[in-house]
Structure 1
């Protein structure tokens, strides 16, 4: 063997050494993982360092000042149903039209002894109207000066649509998934003829007004200490190939502690697409098993969290392959979710949540790990049950990491829920017209997702935001976030 190595060139020898080093690193990591799975994890591992910074992390003041300066330059003046039985109660905030109905005939000899009230919910179609600004001019008697009031700031300078109409168009397209050509048909039924190109232009210009607020959202999302990340495809027309589409991706970032959702478009699903958001990220990063995230999860300043929902899905796929062992794994995973349900129902605080998990979830995780350690040795790697075990095995530390802090989630389901509207939209308008259009759509998807999380009416929020974003002070830009609009509406 030594003689064979001596006959190799220097370049080939380096390749052999490099290959051996890689194999040694791999075997050492495997040995460490086996030890953890065989002997179980200690509670102390998740107790945490008392000197460690707790969530949420704070942003450096210098970064905030820099961001405010950038935003200032950007802004321009061209610018439940609950579970119930029986009939649903009608909303108390709606106006009421009362219609009194008296019995027919002579009632002069009768006395009213009461009344019965029946209510029904009615509506009128969207009402279109013209808002006409009439500005009176005044002149000095000596004709030395003329005075006239300034027009209020408008969303589209010298344009026809008002904030309400633009908010309705965007909400219908991106929240209710109603393509613009269908909205044009609605206008036509009201005898309002608007060209398709005009509606498309309105949509583009309205979205462009949201750019400063979106850039502020990007900055605030980057500074979060806990992010969940996922990606979803979107087809985009390819300008270089007529009629062809390009497979682009929305990268979605969700900050559970603040209820922030950010959609970012990229033509690629490669790791470079996440660099702008995750390149300098520090904190807890929760993802599915996509390999791109492994690079970011291994950074010294990052604690990588995996998703138990994805691990569970792998074992669900194995039910037809090996029902007995798949069910055993699923039952243990279900115990972890039972603990989470108890935490939610009991409305436990962060400290209580961590204590409950360490007391009840950690033993289950250790039991599952020991069981897999024994079973995986006698399992075909290419079988579905083998793949399920390998998936969990390779991510064991990341699957257990949610025990570190009571603020952390057991899975990535919250960010997946934020992505669902995009899937519905794909079925209706099929593709984005360009890469730029896809990125503009990412802005409104972000804000509508935040509206949904904070139970804000997206139309009302957008109407308010479009009407105020041109004149608001850049330092107060965050006041236009949906969650802050909700506070304003509740006053």
Structure 2
């Protein structure tokens, strides 16, 4: 008969036959299983009944959530608020609006075309001109849309023959951004924006073109996209060089299915987004999650006093040790470990979350008052560093007390923090380092959003193209640059721009040099309609 220790639930008869050490082992094993099952049940309850956000909302006293999960409940009696004395008055009710706001504009007049429709006054038809006068007008705006917004530019080039020499003369057709292509730059950029900013795959764009009466092939759209990305690649490379030169960089990884590993099975590859201190980001791509790719993307040299900010993945710390730079750890990831254990050890987890919340309160003051440099460092030293030291001391005391099972999720969370203590403390002494990688995670959100629409990339080359375009689009957003205006301009400049000055075409530098007078498509010359 096999040992009861190998059975998940020994019978009472088998339990009686166990020695004292075996009973201790059995109890510890069952306790670990109970903790693990409680964690799983708490996770399922949170998915069904609880909030998915990691924001802390302390439950009102006396309110019990469904199946033990807390939720924001509306109390029967309102909470006391500020008392305000107002004079007695009669309030006139507002008339019911018909949905058209006549006073405020909800659009940018410089960017949205407006067509004016005159609405005749029927009373004017019954009166002679000398019987009334127009004293003003009222304006109502309504948002409208045409089935398709495509336009065909028809270039008419006169062909002449000189009478004296009989020579024929005709001006050449304007050069497009893609050689020998019938696509105007406005169409090319619109296709790129639709695919990467609004996640509209090319096959859907093809269907929309067909519905608008434009007959082109889907391979033509694919080839057009590849040729466009090839022109943008030097700009991407220049932006990546700028990020590599940053003293402080943040890095993360996000999976994407690209290429086929076997018939009917996609291969898991990875984007490694890198965020520089000048608010630039590049989505580098690699076929795996191996640590060697970090060296390939960041290089084997770094600026003086360089800092790499990341989550707890071990390849980042290995790279930092190899290069000799400082490795800063993300507090948001540390907090997440504690938050996910709060259903198992609520009292202790709440205490830990309170310590971390105090760190973020100090950071919020810095953000609100826009503190920089020495002022930012002084505030962190005075208000965040003592909190962090008390928290680390609190963690050490709990481990010394040996009050938790080794398999407890909360103990694992505390161990995660204790092992990364030095990295978590880096930001306290360096004003150029962020408290977490949330700024990077917000920027890389375009990849998970895109995956919900296009699911995967057929090839690894296609995944690299996604990274190139998203790097430029997201950086445009970070610098408040209109992606459409930017791409229309740089696609017309890049083929004639000196290769040594290609950095001028990155969104950050382009905003200073060219944004006030960007190159436009011929579409904006308003050609005559046929």
What is the TM-score normalised by the length of structure 2?
A: 0.71
Matched, 1:266 2:286: yes
- The residue number in structure 1 matching 2:35 is none
Q: Is structure 2 residue 206 aligned with structure 1 residue 189?
A: no
Say which SS state the counterpart of residue 408 (structure 1) adopts: coil
Provide the secondary structure at the position in 2 that maps to 1:311. helix
- Give yes or no for contact 2:258–2:269 (8 Å, CA) kept in 1: yes
1:221–1:260 CA contact under 8 A, matched in 2: yes
1:363 equivalent in alignment to 2:386: yes
Aligned-pair CA distance for 1:97: 3.5
Match of 2:121 in 1: 103
For 2:313, what is the secondary structure of its paired residue?
coil
Residue 310 of structure 1 aligns to a residue in which SS?
helix
Cα distance, 1:300 vs structure 2: 5.8
Partner of 1:13: none
Corresponding position: 1:252 with 2:273: yes
Distance 1:120 1:350, change over 3 A: farther
Deviation by residue 1:423-453 (Cα, 9 ceiling, x = unmatched): 1111111111111111122111111110121
- CA gap of 1:272–1:206, structure 2 versus 1, over 3 A, is same
Mapping 1:141-290, distance limit 5 Å: 149=171, 152-238=174-260, 241-255=262-276, 257-282=277-302, 283-290=306-313
Matching residue within 320, 324, 343 for 1:297: 320
Is the contact made by 2:294 and 2:319 (CA closer than 8 Å) also made in structure 1? no
Name the structure 2 match of 1:353: 376
Q: Distance in 2 between matches of 1:178 and 1:96?
A: 26
Q: Deviations over 1:129-174 (max 9, x none)?
A: 134263757779568x987656544322112212111111111111
Give, in whole Å, the separation in 2 of the partners of 1:102 and 1:96: 19
CA distance in 2, matches of 1:406, 1:206: 40
Relative to structure 1, the CA distance from residue 88 to residue 231 in structure 2 (aligned partners, 3 Å threshold; closer, same or farther) is farther
Q: Which 5+ residue runs of structure 1 have no aligned equivalent?
A: 1-85
Equivalenced residues, count? 403
> Partners of 1:227 and 1:192 in 2: how far apart?
46
Contact 2:236 2:506 in 1 (8 A): no
1:304 aligned counterpart, secondary structure: strand
Q: Say which structure, 1 or 2, has more relative contact order (CA 8 Å, 6+ apart).
A: 1
- Backbone CA RMSD of aligned residues: 2.4
CA drift at 1:382 = 1.6
Query: Is residue 421 of structure 1 aligned with residue 427 of structure 2?
Result: no
Residues 421/478 of structure 1: CA separation in 2 closer, same or farther (3 Å cut): same
C-alpha spacing 1:220/1:186, structure 2 compared with 1 (3 Å) = same
Q: Aligned to 1:210, what secondary structure does the other structure show?
A: helix
| Residues 1:158 and 1:373: Cα distance change in structure 2 (over 3 Å) | same
Deviation at 1:213? 1.4
3-state SS of paired residue (1:265): strand
Unmatched tracts of structure 2, length 5 or more = 1-102, 518-530
Choose from 339, 349, 355 the match for 1:326: 349
Picking from 486, 507, 515, the partner of 1:489 is 515
| Structure 1 residue 117, shift from structure 2 partner | 3.0
CA contact (8 A) 1:90 1:121 kept: no
Relative to structure 1, is the Cα distance of residues 101 and 128 closer, same or farther in structure 2, using a 3 angstrom cutoff? closer
TM-score (norm 1): 0.77
The answer to whether the 8 A contact 1:153-1:470 is kept is no
Question: How far does residue 352 in structure 1 lie from its aligned partner after superposition?
Answer: 0.8
Secondary structure of the residue aligned to 2:515 is: helix
The match for 1:90 is 107
Give the Cα separation in 1 of the matches to 2:464 and 2:372.
38
* Cα displacement (A) at 1:485: 3.4
Judge conservation of contact 1:138–1:148 (CA < 8 Å) in 2: no
Written as runs of structure 1 = structure 2, the 5 A alignment for 1:56-95 is 89-93=106-110, 94-95=112-113
Change (3 A) 1:114 1:269: same
Kept in 1: contact 2:300–2:323 (CA 8 A): no
Higher helix share: 1
What is the aligned counterpart of 1:398 among 419, 423, 426?
423
